[in-house]
């Protein structure tokens, strides 16, 4: 039976990280050159980790399935990155960032990890400024800040609506410098297919060259997964279409525990679904909620007339509009956390007040802010976002309100890791969105970039040494071992098996069906009967998949359909585990909303006596039920109480 050891350091909360660093094992510079580290993924978490580890002297092998590290999904992040600099002098502090993050995650995250995240946040900004990241600045030259949901202060640093791209370019240039110096071997177009374990430790990977189809072996003293989240299990999401769970899932099947798989985030500010043949959804940055006001018609008859096209949003007078977030949550208004804003939008639309052709949309209106600040100011802050919206919808948001609706966005769940970011497999580490550690049941806006860079630049470079200090006498080893043979054989047989099904249905046919099951029963609202139905339907869909899938093309060639099929095979298994986890957690918290457990006002109702823990699931074998292990969450500095944003 797998045992969980969170390895939280002793001492007061604000001294834990300092104490850890003061007492950890280190690897001297001469020995660092003898140690190899595989880093899978080149987004913010992966690129920053690879660059930092190589800068320290380790030899790094970096992998991405894209044609360039710059294509990682981190470029899609728009709104900003949090840090407790308190530049606006509005009362922010490390403790307040820590508190907001714990509260925003509905008290389901590990206290020590979150405090460390807040503690290193300021270093991230200094690092990125030194790299030349073009953060927005005030007239006097100081870095600008704006507000995001779940906070009463302005702590979000940004580069218009393309913060993720600019931060990734900073990490990419640091990574490129180490590639040129020979400390990083870069392997683009190479997808991890399997984890290799030797004597109980992660010692390498099997990767597939996506151009030739060739399977290749790579060894190392440790493996770092920075492979992002699994929102594409829902098919329609704001994730890049190639984003997947496969590296993490294959590690789960080799013994790594998977933490809180049912905790996924619904983002409230996305462009609504517009048709059956749509393949992804587009995020409109949460930063828009700083100046945009969210509303629906106050009267159902007006909403019906808008849906029929008889009137437009501009025809409704002010007294006919319901600014429902400002009405329900006066303290935070339009800047409530994402899970709260998403459920409120769903509630209004389900009650018949939604707009758009489908009725599954609400308005995000900039009329008041344009009148107050001027169009030029709004354009300077959000111009590229407005341009993107107009290109997609053919509507001018300066003149008519945007239409938005919640969509799948982020995975708070992921591989279980301890304080050192190490999984339950020794030598296997997980960073960024690939792990579960920092966001609990709901991630606050602008915290994904913060966690990815914190893990890569300032956490993993310390903690991985605590493990590698015991590996300095382990020489570099050949991949010609029985363990590598077995892992490659297993992968090859799986690929051949998928190619040989030769049914009549495409990969997307099955993926869309899975997405509809997940959205209907494991989406914004869940209940016991729906979750049981989801488990049954996913199992039937998986049988159909292995009986009737058809993959065109060749095995040993560039074959995007085969890539999608391998990822979908993992999604079909993950989807069932997500439903099982949601069924087991008989409470509502953050993005996990069980309809049976809500307050009289429709808010999430936690059960802290029964469910104040991390659910870590372990693989028991094909066809066997997974085992769930609990990591109790202990709060020493925070009073656990019902969230209130009113």
Three-class SS of residue 291? coil
DSSP H or E run through 402: strand 402-411
Give the alpha-carbon dihedral of 323, 328, 333, 339, to 10 degrees: -110
Q: Which residue has the tokens 């299990």?
A: 233
Residue 153, both tokens: 């202060």
Helix spans in 394-471 (H): 448-453, 460-468
User: For residue 622, what are the contacts with CB-CB under 8 A and spacing of at least 6?
Assistant: none
Cβ–Cβ under 8 Å, residues 47 and 72: yes
Q: Which residues pair with 38 in a beta bridge?
A: 61, 223
Q: Which of 338, 343, 542, 594 is catalytic?
A: 338
- Cα–Cα distance, 563 to 630 (Å, whole number): 34
Question: What DSSP designation does 430 have?
Answer: E
DSSP H or E run through 170: helix 163-180
Where in 426-489 does DSSP place strands (E)? 428-430
338 annotated active-site? yes
Which residue from 467, 466, 470 is spatially nearest to 23, judged by alpha carbons?
A: 466
Q: Which residues pair with 47 in a beta bridge?
A: none
Provide Rg for the chain, Cα atoms: 24
Cβ–Cβ under 8 Å, residues 411 and 263: yes
φ/ψ region of 545 (left if φ > 0, alpha if ψ in -120 to 50, else beta) reads alpha
Which residue from 37, 391, 53 is spatially nearest to 221, judged by alpha carbons?
A: 37
User: What is the strand order of the sheet 362-365 is part of?
Assistant: 264-270, 402-411, 362-365, 293-297, 321-322
Residue 497, both tokens: 């098996």
**CA angle 466–124–449, rounded 5-degree value:** 95
Q: Which residue has the tokens 């049941």?
A: 441
**CA angle 268–269–273, rounded 5-degree value:** 95
Cβ–Cβ under 8 Å, residues 419 and 7: yes
Phi, psi of 136 (to 5 degrees): -60, 145
- Cα–Cα distance, 414 to 438 (Å, whole number): 11
Residue 178, both tokens: 């180490």
Quickly list DSSP for 552-604.
-S-SSS--HHHHHHHHHHHHHHHHHHHHHHHHH--S-BTTB-BTTSB-TTS-B
Cα dist. 39→166, 248, 433, 522 in Å?
Answer: 21, 13, 14, 32
User: For residue 204, what are the contacts with CB-CB under 8 A and spacing of at least 6?
Assistant: 38, 195, 196, 198, 217, 218, 219, 220, 223, 479, 484
Q: Which residues pair with 222 in a beta bridge?
A: 37
Q: Catalytic amino acids?
A: 338
């Amino acid at each position: 039976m797998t045992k969980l050891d969170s390895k939280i350091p002793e001492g007061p909360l604000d001294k834990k990280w300092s104490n850890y660093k003061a007492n950890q094992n280190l690897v001297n510079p001469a020995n660092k050159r003898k140690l190899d580290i595989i880093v899978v993924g080149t987004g913010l978490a992966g690129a920053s980790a690879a660059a930092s580890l190589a800068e320290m002297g380790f030899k790094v092998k970096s992998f991405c399935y894209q044609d360039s590290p710059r294509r990682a999904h981190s470029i899609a992040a728009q709104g900003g990155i949090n840090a407790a600099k308190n530049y606006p002098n509005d009362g922010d502090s490390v403790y307040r960032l820590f508190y907001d993050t714990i509260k925003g995650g509905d008290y389901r995250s590990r206290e020590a990890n979150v405090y460390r995240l807040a503690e290193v946040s300021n270093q991230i900004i200094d690092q990125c400024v030194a790299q030349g990241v073009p953060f927005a600045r005030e007239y006097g030259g100081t870095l600008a800040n704006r507000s995001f949901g779940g906070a009463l202060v302005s702590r979000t640093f940004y580069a218009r609506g393309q913060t993720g791209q600019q931060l990734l370019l900073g990490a990419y240039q640091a990574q490129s410098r180490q590639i040129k110096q020979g400390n990083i071997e870069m392997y683009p177009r190479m997808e991890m297919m399997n984890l290799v374990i030797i004597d109980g430790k992660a010692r390498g990977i099997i990767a597939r060259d996506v151009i030739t189809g060739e399977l290749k072996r790579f060894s190392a003293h440790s493996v770092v997964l920075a492979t992002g989240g699994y929102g594409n299990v829902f098919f329609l999401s704001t994730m890049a279409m190639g984003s997947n769970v496969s590296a993490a899932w294959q590690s789960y099947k080799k013994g790594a525990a998977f933490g809180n798989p049912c905790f996924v985030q619904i983002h409230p500010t996305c462009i609504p679904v517009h048709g059956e043949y749509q393949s992804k959804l587009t995020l409109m940055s949460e930063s828009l909620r700083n100046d945009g006001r969210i509303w629906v018609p106050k009267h159902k008859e007006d909403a019906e007339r808008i849906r029929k096209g008889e009137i437009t949003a501009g025809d409704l007078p002010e007294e006919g509009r319901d600014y429902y977030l400002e009405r329900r949550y006066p303290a935070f208004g339009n800047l409530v956390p994402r899970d709260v804003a998403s459920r409120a939008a769903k509630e209004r639309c389900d009650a018949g007040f939604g707009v758009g052709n489908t009725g599954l949309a609400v308005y995000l209106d900039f009329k008041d802010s344009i009148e107050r600040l001027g169009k030029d100011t709004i354009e300077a802050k959000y111009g590229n976002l407005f341009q993107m919206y107009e290109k997609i919808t053919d509507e001018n948001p300066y003149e008519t309100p945007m239409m938005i609706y919640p969509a799948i966005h982020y995975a708070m769940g992921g591989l279980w890791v301890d304080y050192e970011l190490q999984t339950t497999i020794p030598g296997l580490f997980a960073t960024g969105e690939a792990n579960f550690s920092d966001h609990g049941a709901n991630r606050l806006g602008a915290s994904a970039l913060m966690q990815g860079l914190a893990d890569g630049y300032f956490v993993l470079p310390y903690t991985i040494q605590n493990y590698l200090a015991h590996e300095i006498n382990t020489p570099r080893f050949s991949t010609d071992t029985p363990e590598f043979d077995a892992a490659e054989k297993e992968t090859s047989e799986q690929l051949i098996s998928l190619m040989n099904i030769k049914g009549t249905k495409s990969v997307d046919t099955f993926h869309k069906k899975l997405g509809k099951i997940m959205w209907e029963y494991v989406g914004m609202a869940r209940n016991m009967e729906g979750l049981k139905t989801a488990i049954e339907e996913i199992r039937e869909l998986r049988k159909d998949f292995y009986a009737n899938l058809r993959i065109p093309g060749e095995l040993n060639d560039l074959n995007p359909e085969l890539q999608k099929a391998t990822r979908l095979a993992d999604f079909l298994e993950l989807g069932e585990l997500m439903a099982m986890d949601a069924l087991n957690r008989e409470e509502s918290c953050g993005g996990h909303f069980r309809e049976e457990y809500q307050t009289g006002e429709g808010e999430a109702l936690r059960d802290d006596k029964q469910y104040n823990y991390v659910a870590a699931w372990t693989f028991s074998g094909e066809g066997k039920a997974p085992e769930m292990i609990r990591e109790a969450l202990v709060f020493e500095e925070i009073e656990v109480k019902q969230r209130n944003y009113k």
